[in-house]
């Protein structure tokens, strides 16, 4: 297997010309799927912070979970089996790998994950759904629970200038968000005015609290204040809904409309995007992952690496990578999260047999909020949702394809710091 961990350097980016019109991609018979790379977020886990500050901002009791904090749940495993089953049907339909039940060799499949329980388990369940009965190697760091440098979105620039610009970028991003409706909704749900934090620290209204951003070398971008509290609380509510808790236990029965879910998730989306998508931060923290993908997918010649590559990481990996690569804004119908649980970026390399050129298509494939809650079976007949994405400097045609050469230049530009 030639796909392996990679160095983190790359030559300077080339300027991106305007792409020519794409030829004959509307004829499906012309298009042959040559390679696929999935960048997935782990599936359904338990809340990471269901104690500590969350117990101080409400006088209500948080529901108990039957797994350790941050672990993939049993239902998360079932959901990922279904996602694996769907993708196996899809790659069979497109004749990407051999028709055998199990991959015939390393040229077909390569799976690599962060070394957390939830990411490793996600890959295990996915491959069980896609290749039932097969022995599939999941590549990860030897010690479970240690962060893999490829997936660890930490700051690597320790200069004072970088820190100043990064902090300013986070402040500027936050100023552009209208989070007050979400904070007001959360205040009411938590009954924060009667909480311990209100009594001891006068934290009685989240929208009036100051946020303090943190940029330190070898650590993730961070924040202290209302934004962090809002993210943790809404994350817990989302997970309760997905897990199938009775509705009177999901946010204590106080989130009963799509409008309320949308308001609340502005806090969660705002947290992720403020910390990880300002360009100066995104290009820094996503660099190891971008470099890995570039060497193993973008720059690799056909046959050098596996036809089907699966990477499993976190929402911060997806958000920072998409920012670094200049993806255009997108919406995910029937989801409130911008980087939902179990969702995956699907990078597809297609060959046009008519003009003998390669093209790339990128889709966000994800389960809707209700598919997650209902544990919906996935197949070609009952698929997850698909949203075609576009990068600023890789224009797509009506079928979602952009020129492979332009995609390569996008990746090089993303890697230039």
Contact 363, 388 (CB under 8 A): yes
Mean pLDDT across 149-157: 97
> Do 118 and 229 fall into the same domain?
no
> Do 267 and 300 fall into the same domain?
no
With 80 as the cut, is the pLDDT of residue 5 above it? no
> Do 148 and 179 fall into the same domain?
no
19 belongs to a structural domain: no
Q: In the prediction, which pLDDT does 346 show?
A: 98
8 belongs to a structural domain: no
Residue showing tokens 């009775």: 246
Final residue of a structural domain among 281, 316, 336: 281
pLDDT digits (tens, 9 = 90+) for 77-86: 999 999 999 9
With 50 as the cut, is the pLDDT of residue 56 above it? yes
> Do 124 and 213 fall into the same domain?
no
Q: In the prediction, which pLDDT does 116 show?
A: 97
> Do 255 and 336 fall into the same domain?
no
6 belongs to a structural domain: no
Q: In the prediction, which pLDDT does 301 show?
A: 87
Mean pLDDT across 18-39: 77
Contact 273, 172 (CB under 8 A): no
355 belongs to a structural domain: yes
> Do 203 and 325 fall into the same domain?
no
The two three-digit tokens of residue 405, written as one number? 């050469």
Counting the structural domains of the chain, the total is 2
> Do 262 and 139 fall into the same domain?
no
Q: How many CB atoms lie within 10 A of CB 179?
A: 22
The two three-digit tokens of residue 115, written as one number? 């070394």
399 belongs to a structural domain: yes
pLDDT digits (tens, 9 = 90+) for 319-359: 999 999 999 999 999 999 999 999 999 999 999 999 999 99
> Do 35 and 148 fall into the same domain?
yes
Instruction: Give the Cα separation of 138 and 348 in Å (integer).
Output: 21
> Do 149 and 174 fall into the same domain?
no
Final residue of a structural domain among 254, 281, 308: 281
Contact 17, 163 (CB under 8 A): no
Question: Where does the pLDDT of residue 293 fall: very low under 50, low under 70, confident under 90, or very high at 90 and above?
Answer: very high
Contact 47, 232 (CB under 8 A): yes
Q: Is 57 helix (H, G, I), strand (E, B) or coil?
A: coil
pLDDT digits (tens, 9 = 90+) for 184-193: 999 999 999 9
Structural domain span for residue 295: 29-52+76-154+283-415
307 belongs to a structural domain: yes
With 60 as the cut, is the pLDDT of residue 361 above it? yes
- Among 394, 281, 283, residue whose Cα is nearest residue 347: 394
- Which residues are part of the catalytic machinery? 42, 315
> Do 254 and 175 fall into the same domain?
yes
> Do 34 and 145 fall into the same domain?
yes
Instruction: Give the Cα separation of 146 and 149 in Å (integer).
Output: 9
> Do 99 and 132 fall into the same domain?
yes
Final residue of a structural domain among 281, 303, 325: 281
- Look up the CATH number of the domain holding residue 36: 3.40.50.1240
Mean pLDDT across 273-297: 97
61 belongs to a structural domain: no
Q: How many CB atoms lie within 10 A of CB 173?
A: 17
Angle (deg, nearest 10), helices 258-276 and 315-324? 70
Residue showing tokens 């009965």: 133
43 belongs to a structural domain: yes
């Amino acid at each position: 297997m030639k796909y392996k961990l990679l160095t983190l350097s790359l030559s300077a980016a080339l300027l991106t010309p305007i792409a020519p019109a794409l030829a004959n991609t509307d004829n499906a018979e012309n298009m042959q799927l040559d390679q696929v790379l999935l960048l997935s977020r782990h599936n359904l886990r338990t809340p990471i912070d269901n104690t500590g500050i969350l117990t101080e901002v409400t006088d209500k009791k948080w529901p108990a979970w039957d797994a350790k904090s941050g672990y993939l749940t049993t239902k998360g495993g079932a959901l990922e089996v279904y996602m694996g089953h769907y993708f196996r049907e899809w790659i069979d339909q497109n004749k990407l790998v051999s028709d055998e039940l199990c991959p015939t060799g390393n040229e077909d499949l390569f799976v690599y994950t962060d070394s957390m329980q939830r990411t490793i388990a996600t890959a295990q369940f996915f491959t069980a759904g896609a290749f039932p009965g097969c022995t599939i190697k999941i590549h990860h760091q030897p010690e479970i629970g240690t962060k893999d440098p490829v997936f660890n979105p930490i700051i690597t620039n320790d200069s004072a200038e970088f820190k100043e610009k990064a902090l300013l970028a986070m402040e500027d991003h936050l100023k552009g968000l209208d989070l007050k409706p979400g904070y007001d909704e959360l205040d009411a749900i938590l009954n924060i005015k009667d909480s311990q934090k209100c009594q001891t620290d006068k934290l009685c209204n989240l929208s009036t609290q100051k946020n303090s951003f943190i940029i330190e070398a070898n650590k993730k971008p961070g924040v202290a204040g209302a934004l962090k509290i809002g993210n943790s609380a809404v994350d817990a509510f989302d997970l309760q809904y997905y897990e199938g808790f009775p509705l009177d236990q999901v946010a204590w029965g106080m989130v009963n409309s799509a409008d309320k879910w949308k308001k609340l998730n502005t806090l969660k989306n705002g947290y992720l995007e403020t910390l990880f998508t300002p360009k100066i931060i995104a290009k820094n923290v996503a660099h190891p992952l971008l470099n890995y993908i570039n060497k193993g997918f973008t720059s690799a010649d056909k046959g050098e690496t596996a036809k089907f590559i699966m990477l499993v990481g976190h929402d911060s990996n997806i958000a920072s990578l998409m920012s670094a690569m200049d993806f255009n804004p997108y919406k995910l119908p029937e989801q409130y999260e911008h980087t939902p649980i179990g969702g995956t970026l699907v990078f597809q390399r297609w060959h046009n047999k008519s003009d003998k050129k390669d093209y790339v298509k990128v889709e966000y494939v994800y389960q809707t909020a209700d598919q997650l809650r209902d544990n919906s079976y996935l197949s070609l007949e009952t698929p997850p949702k698909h949203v075609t994405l576009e990068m600023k400097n890789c224009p797509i045609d009506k079928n979602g394809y952009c020129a492979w050469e332009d995609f390569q230049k996008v990746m090089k530009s993303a890697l230039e710091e």
